[in-house]
Amino acid sequence: MKHCPRCHAGRLVEIALNVGERKVRMQSCSRCDTRWWDSDGEHLPLPGVLDLAAARR
């Protein structure tokens, strides 16, 4: 089970989506409202996600 990196709560909301050719998961903590993204188990900074989205045209 995953935990929030900030508050260590275990209640996360996961939303999977495809950005360009990659599968990306947005994870959001329902306690402290931290959001982060990962792709293939790799942490993805938000600017990287936006780059992937921008590349898809």
Q: Which positions touch Zn ion (CB under 5 A)?
A: 4, 6-7, 9, 29, 31-32, 34
Please report how close the Cβ of residue 28 comes to Zn ion at its closest, in angstroms: 9
CB of 10 to Zn ion, least distance (A): 9
Which residue, 8 or 23, is less far from Zn ion as judged by CB? 8
Q: CB of 11: closest distance to Zn ion in angstroms?
A: 8
Q: Residue 42: which residues within 8 A CB-CB, separation 6 or more?
A: none
Tell me how far apart the alpha carbons of residues 50 and 9 are, in angstroms, rounded to a whole number.
27
Going 23 to 53 to 28 to 10, the CA torsion angle's sign is positive
